[in-house]
Amino acid sequence: MSETNERISKIVNDADVVLFMKGTPLFPQCGFSNRAVSILDHCGVAFDSVDVLQDMEIRQGIKAYSDWPTIPQLYVKGEFVGGSDIMMEMFEAGELQTLMNEKQVAKAESE
Amino acid sequence: MPMAAARIEALIKEALPDATVEMEPLVDDNDHWLARVTSAQFAGKSRVQQHKMVFAALGERMGGELHALQLHTAVPN
């Protein structure tokens, strides 16, 4: 396993929910990343994020790791869930909320 | 370079001949598209697998010149 893959593996296994995105949740740098953050906010779950624009190795490495060509990418409990389109399809069908409940991920702290 | 909707549609249909493909502009710039792809070949596949089948049809372009392609996949009723 390459060094980059090991880093990615550690990232996706250390947190319940990880979003690989362009920018940060407060300042997303792309419409698709923005949409992914909104969906997770609506689900009310706590999540970590990785700004791929700050790390070229991760930016390229995550595409190979997931065998998925675009960013954002969502991981839940170490498992690849999909990009923003899949997140939206699942959210609208209620499946994403069900997945989060089933995986027993931490809720976001209420404000 | 933006990619014309007809070209995207043709590539998808080449790989999934039974598919119906509807292209919708997300922004009126001939560059941001939503593709709705319906194919019997998606039956029994997960959403990730369905999207990967479409990515495979688009090859290297996906994530590069096609960064702004939104995708909806469905199995025909």
Q: Which domains does chain A have, with CATH numbers?
A: 3-102 (3.40.30.10)
A64 confidence band (pLDDT: 50, 70, 90): very high
Q: What is the mean pLDDT of residues A58-63?
A: 95
Domain residue limits, chain B: 5-74
Whether the predicted pLDDT of B47 surpasses 80:
yes
Interfacial residues of B (vs A; Cβ cutoff 8 Å): 47-48, 51-52, 55, 62-64, 67, 70-72
Whether the predicted pLDDT of B25 surpasses 70:
yes
A79 in B contact zone (CB under 8 Å): no
CA atoms of A61 and A56, how far apart (whole Å)? 8
CA atoms of B48 and B50, how far apart (whole Å)? 5
B1 confidence band (pLDDT: 50, 70, 90): low
Mean of pLDDT over chain A: 94
Residue of A nearest to B51 (CA): A86
Which residues have CB under 8 Å from A52's CB, separation 6+? A20, A21, A22, A58, A59, A62, A71
β-pairing, B33-38 with A79-82? unpaired
Per-residue model confidence (pLDDT) at position B55: 93
Residue B5, CA distances (Å) to A107, B11, B26, B63, B76 in order: 41, 10, 12, 16, 22
ipTM attached to this prediction: 0.83
Q: What top-level class would CATH report for the domain B5-74? A: alpha beta
Residue of A nearest to B55 (CA): A69
Mutate which of A29, A68, A71, A91 to disrupt the B interface (most B C-beta within 10 Å)? A68
Q: Which of A8-22, A66-80, B63-77 comes out lowest in average pLDDT?
A: B63-77
Mean of pLDDT over chain B: 90
Name the pTM for this structure. Answer: 0.90
Whether the predicted pLDDT of A30 surpasses 70:
yes
